[in-house]
Amino acid sequence: MANLNAPSVPFVNEPFTNFADPHHAQAMRQSLALVAAQLGREYDLIVGGQRIRTVDKIISINPARPSEVVGVHQKAGADHAQQVMDAALTAYESWSRTTVGERAALLFRAAGIIRKRKHEFSSWLVYEVGKNWADADADTAETIDFLEFYGREALRLDQATTPIQLPGERNLLRYIPLGVGAVIPPWNFPFAIMAGMTAAAIVTGNTVILKPSSDSPTIAAHYLAVLEEAGLPPGVVNFCPGSGATFGNAIVEHPRTRFIAFTGSKAVGLDIHERAAHTQPGQIWIKRTILEMGGKDSILVCADADLDAAADGIVASAFGFSGQKCSACSRAILEASVYDVMVEKIRQRVARLTVGNPVENHNLGPVVNKAAMDSIFNYIEQGKYEGRLIVGGNAVSTPEGGFFLQPTVFADIAPDAVLSQEEIFGPVLALIRVDTFEQGLAVANNTEYGLTGAIYSASREHLDHASQEFHVGNLYLNRKCTGAMVGAHPFGGFNMSGTDSKAGGPDYLLLFTQAKSIAERLS
């Protein structure tokens, strides 16, 4: 067991499940069957502990079988904004005064509940967003990690002291909550990122209006049920699926909203930032935005690298969860002397990947919806003009009509091409030839993003130079550029990748607090 529900136990990352073990595989199949029997249920809005139904609905579907409904959800509108804000403000009065120990204990209890039903939550991820077993298991494990880590971090932060104690004074430093915040998570890590942002907000004493993605509200509903089982008071987290253009904007713009934690696209993140910056009548604070946005991530392979390890890392980073990660390797930058060899190694590995229903645990499942599939196809057509198609490039037809695409690789892509610059968010990899390490590093830095990156090299000089000059928030040396681990790899990017929030790191909870210095003169 990774972490016992006691702060005295040091944090250890939740272990991943080995599904090659028949016992674990059978347990996962049983959980998939259990969840399949619950598909199509209707879920309420939860506002101040009250269950609310609306005329308009959000229908969450299985992207592997679009005719299959995963969950039916109520659709919060702009007319619900004041009601949910009032509920969150009411809850804040007591929750903000609850001890840090009690708030942390709630997170530890929630982690324990999820750990006992791990495969069940992973199964919801398989059905709702199309993750294969390993990707779903990693998402669930990261959820547990966030709860355990942020609980411990809150207890640590509660013990903060001033660097200096002045003679004749008692000097205190307290990190107090901000107020009511909006949490707007993405669909691609609909458990871990959603749960992590929510947990960070509430363990520091804030209350939350949670607006999950319309593509993945069901897993969020089950998370809220876990929090309630763990003892969450009404109104501390309010579950409100809804349109970003109506309910989401109304909450972002509300004068009593204190902060917005968002993970998603650059376009939406910048829009939230702009709306939050506009001061509303009656607003007495500057709203804080905690933004995790896009990426256009590169793996640079030097001539002296272990080429098989590099090819493995590129393919895993590019095509895990069908490339639907902000951290995914979208560009492999290859030194000319090993370019042709690397192209062939990558082609061979990609050709072995299987595509199909994630219930059957293929390497790649579907992309999340038809709009995503159409957008990715447009990039594939663009790639045919910009480079040489090595493998893939087509849809994969299934009897259920899911949104399946072949993993696709284009070679000979120019550093300034569309495929080199725009975030695709799908199973498409661009291969770029460079003459030298220095040129490769310049190409790696030539986008507006700065989230993740990796370099494969046997040269200590190259690795050290990249550590200084490869301008990303998360840099990996001789390993893949996906799979950040809570505690070990605080996650967040530079430039248009966001505010470098460093989720899963020692600074993250500070974003949800404000520091209060108290000085008392002693007699």
**Looking at the annotation, which residues are catalytic?**
292, 326
CA distance linking residue 360 with residue 453, whole number of Å: 31
Question: DSSP letter string over 169-198?
Answer: EEEEEEEEE--EEEEE--SSSTTHHHHHHH
Residue 485 Cα to chain centre, angstroms:
12
- Answer yes or no: are the C-beta atoms of 195 and 146 closer than 8 Å: yes
User: Which residue type occupies 25?
Assistant: A
- Alpha helices (H) in 1-47, listed in sequence order: 22-36
- Answer yes or no: are the C-beta atoms of 470 and 453 closer than 8 Å: yes
CA distance linking residue 258 with residue 280, whole number of Å: 12
CA distance linking residue 287 with residue 259, whole number of Å: 5
Most distant CA atoms of the chain, gap in Å: 81
- Answer yes or no: are the C-beta atoms of 288 and 200 closer than 8 Å: no
Question: DSSP letter string over 353-408?
Answer: --BS-GGGT-SB---S-HHHHHHHHHHHHHHHHHSEEEE--SB---TT----B--E
- 209 sits in which H/E element: strand 207-210
What angle do the packed helices 336-351 and 307-319 form, to 10 degrees? 50
- Answer yes or no: are the C-beta atoms of 510 and 522 closer than 8 Å: no
CA distance linking residue 426 with residue 409, whole number of Å: 11
CA distance linking residue 344 with residue 351, whole number of Å: 10
Segment 350-354 long-range contacts (CB within 8 Å, at least 24 positions apart): 350/315, 350/319, 350/390, 350/391, 350/392, 350/407, 350/409, 350/429, 351/391, 353/315, 353/319, 353/407
The CB-side HSE value for 298 (13 A sphere, CA atoms) comes to 30
Structure tokens at 458: 């046997």
CA distance linking residue 222 with residue 220, whole number of Å: 5
Structure tokens at 364: 């790649």
Residue 40 Cα to chain centre, angstroms:
25
